[in-house]
Amino acid sequence: MERKINKELVVSIIIPLVVGLISSLLSIKGMSSFSMLKKPFLAPPGFIFPIVWTILYTLMGYSSYLIYQSNDYHSDCCLKIYLINLFVNFLWSPLFFGLNLRLFSLIWIILLDIVVSFMILCFYKVEKKAALLQIPYLIWCLFATYLNLMYYLLNR
């Protein structure tokens, strides 16, 4: 028996992965100077970030697929918030790493925290599973906010 590939699911997962990849490629320029900064107490080793982000982007894509597949009248609004989330998420790395704008990046990531929270609330109205799958993303964003704040304070 031949298995059918769910193209909508694949595209839903690929979109955030590509957004994250392009964002990281735009941030490479500032990575060398970043390694010289004083690190916060809870800063994880660098190899953790691509692993965590790959998982989170995959969960984002799957959640967006669940919302897309729902027949709920809120789904269009939720997907618009999701796209705003991808945009805000996309710009944070180039701002923080590429341009070394740590204070502006802090304000930007707080905006991301707010957008992700709204996205989760919207997703919850449509598909609870989609919302719950975004909780690790929110937790990671809040952790990244702490890291951004501490990098700013330690390296002024």
Tens-place pLDDT, residues 62-73: 999 999 999 899
**DSSP collapsed to 3 states, 75-126:** HHHHHHHHHHHHHHHHHHHHHHHHCCCHHHHHHHHHHHHHHHHHHHHHHHHH
CA dist 68 and 76 (Å) reads 8
| Per-residue model confidence as pLDDT tens digits over 24-77 | 999 988 777 888 899 999 999 989 999 999 999 999 999 999 999 998 999 999
pLDDT at residue 1, as a whole number: 66
pLDDT at residue 134, as a whole number: 98
Q: Where are the domains of the chain?
A: 55-156
- pLDDT: which is higher, 4 or 112: 112
Q: How far is CA 103 from CA 58, 95, 128, 151, in A?
A: 29, 10, 35, 9
Percentage of the chain modeled with pLDDT above 90: 89
